[in-house]
Structure formats: C-alpha cells, structure tokens
C-alpha cells in the first residue's frame, strides 16, 4: 500500500475546515447566552424555546412543509413514470427527452426563477403557495427521475418477464413486481427532493405571493436586520433536519444497491 503525501492530509483538513467551520460556529453560538453572538458568555437553550412561541416562524415552517410535501408527492409520481418510460421503452428522440428532463438540474437557478415568474405573469396567475409548488415540482422531478433510473438500471428485467409468463398482465407485473423493487429508489429520490424543496430560496423568492412566506424567505427577512440567536437556533435545526434526511436517503440508496 502506497504512503500518501502528508501535505494531502493538510490540504484536506484546510478544505473541510473552510467548508464546515462557519457551520460549527453557528451551531455553537445558537447556545450562547448573549444576544450579540460575538463571544461566548454561557450555555443556554432559551433561543430554541423562543422559536416555539414565534408565530411568524411557525407559519413559515408550515408553508415550507406544505410546499415540500405537495411538490414531492407530484414529482414522485411523475419522476417514477418518466424513469420507467425512459428506461424500459425505446422511441425516437429518447436521448433528447432524457436531456430535456435533466435541464432543470443544469440550468442556473436564477434563470429558472425568472422564467417561472415570466410564465406566471404572462398567464395572469396570481403568485401564491400554488405557484411555488408548481415551480418546485419542475426541479424535483429531475432528481426523482435520476434516482429511480439508477435503481431501474440495476434491476433484472427478467423478473417482470417471469411475472408475465406466469399470467400477470403488464400493469399487474408493474404494481406487483417492479414497483416494490423500485420503492427504495423512489423513497430516496423523494427524500432528496424534499430537502431541496424545503431549503430552496431563489425560485421561491421569485414565485412567492403575499401571505406565502416560506421558512427560507422568513429567515432572509430577519437576517436583513442582523443575525440574532433565534436565527442561529433555527438554522441549526434546519441543518440537523437536512443532514438527517440526506443521511436517510443515502442509507436507503446504499441498501438498495447491496440488495
């Protein structure tokens, strides 16, 4: 086994420190007694307790969860159907369809946000939670499709054929054989889409209407007046939730690969 240069370890530590040190500082100062959050004065959990009584933050959190759940539900169905069609069917322009489906991942988010806003204005649609949900579905579908397609590529197609040989119709074979095997990939893709929708700011900023403030928008409005310990606490909770959901999605993905 070759010995790796020590300077690589130093560079790795520097890079990880550059990436995660601000997050660690934010989490530490969310437990600081002082409101200034400049230097450590003592341990407290009161800033987390104040979050429970902040009705504006709770309302924004509820809006974010509603948007994420609706977007994930629709994109989960659409993404699964798109993945099955692209993986199992052969038709003219398949490569073009696949490329178009993945464009929301490649296009800059600000461009997607402006395009969505122009579309809603041109159609005369009032901006609300519904417009946010529609906009989130657009990019969530791509992530769900990619995840499910990865599962399909590792699945033995002969299982469906065996079910049909035993008398099952194509529809029954899909729901009795294919869909259960795809479920880990679908769940992993939906969890990833949920995190992306919950944390999205740019597209939400352009497509949100009056009374449809989500949690990222609420945090941004509070930060404009200075970073408070409540924001540190709220950001810490969001980081913990995001990491937990991401780890769960990765665990499900790894489990499906080894199964």
Confidence of residue 259 (pLDDT cuts 50, 70, 90): low
pTM, two decimals, is 0.81
- Residue 9: what pLDDT? 83
Q: Which of 64, 71, 66 is nearest to 238 (CA)?
A: 64
Q: What is the mean pLDDT of residues 86-102?
A: 79
Domain CATH code at residue 201: 1.10.3720.10
- Residue 2: what pLDDT? 55
Range of the domain at 165: 56-258
CA distance 160 to 177: 6
Pair of tokens at residue 25: 């500082």
- Domain contains 45: no
Axis crossing angle, helix 229-258 with helix 215-223, rounded to the nearest 10 = 150
Structurally, the chain folds into a number of domains equal to 1
Q: How far is CA 12 from the centre of its chain?
A: 27
Q: At CB < 8 A and 24+ separation, what contacts does 38-47 make?
A: 47/229, 47/230, 47/232, 47/233
The fraction of the chain above a pLDDT of 70, given in percent, is 95
- Residue 229: what pLDDT? 80
- Domain contains 78: yes
Contact criterion met (CB below 8 Å) for 188 and 252: yes
- Domain contains 10: no
- Residue 258: what pLDDT? 62
Pair of tokens at residue 12: 């790795």
- Residue 1: what pLDDT? 46
């Amino acid at each position: 086994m070759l010995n790796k240069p020590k300077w690589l370890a130093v560079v790795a530590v520097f890079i990880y420190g550059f990436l995660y040190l601000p997050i660690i500082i934010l989490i530490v100062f969310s437990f600081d007694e002082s409101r200034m959050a400049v230097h450590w004065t003592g341990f407290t959990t009161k800033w987390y307790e104040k979050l429970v009584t902040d009705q504006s933050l709770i309302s924004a959190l509820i809006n974010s969860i509603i948007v994420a759940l609706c977007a994930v539900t629709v994109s989960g169905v659409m993404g699964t159907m798109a993945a099955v069609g692209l993986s199992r069917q052969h038709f003219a322009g398949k490569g073009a369809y696949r490329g178009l489906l993945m464009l929301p991942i490649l296009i800059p988010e600000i461009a997607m946000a402006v395009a969505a806003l122009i579309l809603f204005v041109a159609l005369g649609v009032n901006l609300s939670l519904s417009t946010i949900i529609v906009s989130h579905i657009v990019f969530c579908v791509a992530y769900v499709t990619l995840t499910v397609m990865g599962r399909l590529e590792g699945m033995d197609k002969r299982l469906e054929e065996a079910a049909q040989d035993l008398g099952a119709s194509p529809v029954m074979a899909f729901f009795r054989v294919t869909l259960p095997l795809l479920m880990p990939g679908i769940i992993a893709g939906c969890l990833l889409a949920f995190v992306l929708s919950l944390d999205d700011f740019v597209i939400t900023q352009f497509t949100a209407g009056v009374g449809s403030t989500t949690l990222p928008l609420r945090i941004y409005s509070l930060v404009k007046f200075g970073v408070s310990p409540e924001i540190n606490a709220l950001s810490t909770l969001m980081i913990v939730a995001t990491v937990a959901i991401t780890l769960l999605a990765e665990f499900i993905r790894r489990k499906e690969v080894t199964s």
